[in-house]
């Protein structure tokens, strides 16, 4: 969110209001998300995948960008949501909206349980624990092929039409409309959360975890809360994937996916709410454009991009743009 320059005499209330109001560029962004219906009608399936990835990245932003928790295993919740939706549909209940809710609940519950561990550690121990828990879940799913289908993937996922009318087909119209609406609603929740006192305390934790207990803040409780919310949101994203593609493979729990969403968020800019969305668009579009290229070489360029972003553009694209904008504003007119 760009910093507001208060006019002389502006009170503290209007300053805070100014910081959270809807900017025209945000409205333009959301209007632009309708463009694929008219401009790229053949790419709606891809667009729905982008929306799902954006939702996943948004969930990571909540813990990474705002609370400062570095997680190398966030795909655990994405995968949990995907498998929950997939498995339940396989055994007879395929109503998409209720599956979303159930997936969110399952992922949220596991996230809540894990949050007790997560909140106690920092630095290397935290990174390793998130990595370890993610790998654990991946291995568990791999071994439990009676439930998950193991390395072959989940067979027999059967999703009913949305609201009993809209079928999920290869054209992706239903998929994109559905994913986009879910993304937007989740975004509204995230946006409200960030602008609440809780959001402020999360930023406090990120900015200076030592100072927080010194002002009486229950940091661990705050971290547990945001981790749970983030896990539930990631679970929704995973369930959306299962529903829109009618497949679930082990890949949804992989380190690859955790690393990809991290790259996406950093590329766009963490801690800016739109960073994950922007990063998802750029990354997925680029990946689709270069899909002919050997995956190995794709990761070479991703590696180079990571190095470049860290050395040159540490706050991602949005951060870089914000810096440009503020140096523009400071120029004497």
> Of residues 23-62, which lie at the interface with other proteins (CB under 8 A)?
none
Instruction: Give the residue from 262, 240, 260 showing the smallest Cα distance to 251.
Output: 260
- Nearer Cβ to other proteins (180/231): 231
- Nearer Cβ to other proteins (96/199): 199
Interface region with other proteins, contact rule CB under 8 A, candidates 41-49, 98-106, 209-217, 231-239:
209-217
The secondary structure of 88-115 as a DSSP string is HHHTT---HHHHHHHHHHHHHHHHHHHH
Residue 242: how many CB atoms within 10 A of its CB?
29
Compute the distance between CA of residue 313 and CA of residue 295 in angstroms, rounded to an integer. Answer: 25
Among residues 63, 129, 175, 239, the one that binds other proteins under rule CB under 8 A: 129
What pairs with residue 154 in β-bridges? 248
Residue 69: how many CB atoms within 10 A of its CB?
26
Q: Report if residue 331 touches other proteins, rule: CB under 8 A.
A: no
Among residues 32, 181, 185, 307, the one that binds other proteins under rule CB under 8 A: 307
Q: At what angle do helices 255-268 and 75-90 cross, to 10 degrees?
A: 120
Instruction: Give the residue from 41, 50, 295 showing the smallest Cα distance to 172.
Output: 41
Q: What is the dihedral of CA 269, 27, 241, 261, to 10 degrees?
A: 0
Q: Report if residue 323 touches other proteins, rule: CB under 8 A.
A: no
- Nearer Cβ to other proteins (93/297): 297
Among residues 42, 164, 170, 197, the one that binds other proteins under rule CB under 8 A: 197
Alpha carbon distances (Å) from 230 to 62, 75, 160, 240, 257:
6, 11, 27, 15, 16
Number of residues that bind other proteins (CB under 8 A): 77
Interface region with other proteins, contact rule CB under 8 A, candidates 31-39, 86-94, 180-188, 260-268:
260-268
By the 8 A CB rule, do 118 and 223 touch? yes
Among residues 123, 292, 312, 330, the one that binds other proteins under rule CB under 8 A: 123
Q: Report if residue 326 touches other proteins, rule: CB under 8 A.
A: no
Shortest distance in whole angstroms from residue 173 CB to other proteins: 33
Alpha carbon distances (Å) from 233 to 11, 85, 184, 210:
36, 14, 12, 28
Q: Report if residue 292 touches other proteins, rule: CB under 8 A.
A: no
Q: Report if residue 290 touches other proteins, rule: CB under 8 A.
A: no
Compute the distance between CA of residue 115 and CA of residue 224 in angstroms, rounded to an integer. Answer: 5
Q: Report if residue 289 touches other proteins, rule: CB under 8 A.
A: no
Shortest distance in whole angstroms from residue 204 CB to other proteins: 5
Among residues 215, 291, 292, 330, the one that binds other proteins under rule CB under 8 A: 215
Interacting positions 143-172 with other proteins (CB under 8 A): 143
Among residues 23, 91, 171, 314, the one that binds other proteins under rule CB under 8 A: 314
Shortest distance in whole angstroms from residue 40 CB to other proteins: 29
Among residues 22, 311, 330, 332, the one that binds other proteins under rule CB under 8 A: 311
Place of tokens 């760009």: 2
């Amino acid at each position: 969110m760009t910093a507001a320059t208060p006019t002389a005499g502006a009170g503290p209330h209007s300053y805070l209001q100014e910081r959270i109001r809807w900017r025209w560029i945000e409205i333009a962004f959301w209007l632009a998300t309708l463009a694929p219906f008219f401009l790229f009608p053949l790419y709606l399936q891809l667009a729905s995948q982008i929306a799902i990835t954006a939702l996943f990245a948004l969930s990571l932003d909540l813990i990474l960008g705002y609370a400062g928790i570095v997680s190398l295993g966030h795909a655990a919740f994405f995968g949990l949501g995907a498998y929950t939706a997939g498995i339940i549909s396989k055994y007879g209940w395929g109503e998409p909206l209720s599956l979303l809710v159930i997936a969110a609940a399952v992922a949220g519950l596991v996230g809540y349980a894990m949050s007790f561990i997560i909140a106690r550690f920092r630095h290397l121990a935290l990174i390793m624990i998130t990595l370890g828990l993610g790998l654990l879940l991946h291995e568990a799913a791999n071994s439990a092929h009676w439930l998950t289908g193991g390395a072959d993937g989940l067979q027999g996922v059967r999703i009913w039409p949305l609201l009993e009318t809209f079928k999920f087909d290869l054209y992706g119209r239903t998929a994109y409309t559905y994913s986009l609406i879910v993304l937007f609603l989740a975004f509204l929740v995230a946006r409200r959360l960030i602008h609440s006192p809780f959001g402020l305390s999360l930023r406090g934790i990120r900015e200076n975890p030592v100072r927080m207990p010194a002002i009486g803040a229950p940091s661990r409780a705050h971290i547990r809360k945001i981790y749970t919310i983030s896990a539930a949101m990631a679970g929704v994203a995973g369930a959306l994937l299962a529903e829109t593609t009618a497949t679930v493979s082990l890949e949804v729990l992989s380190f690859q996916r955790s690393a990809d969403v991290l790259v996406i968020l950093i590329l766009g800019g963490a801690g800016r709410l739109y960073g994950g969305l922007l990063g998802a668009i750029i990354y997925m579009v680029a990946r689709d454009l270069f899909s002919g290229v050997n995956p190995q070489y794709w990761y070479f360029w991703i590696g180079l991009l990571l190095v470049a972003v860290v050395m040159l553009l540490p706050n991602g694209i949005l951060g870089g743009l914000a810096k440009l904008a503020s140096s523009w504003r400071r120029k004497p007119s």
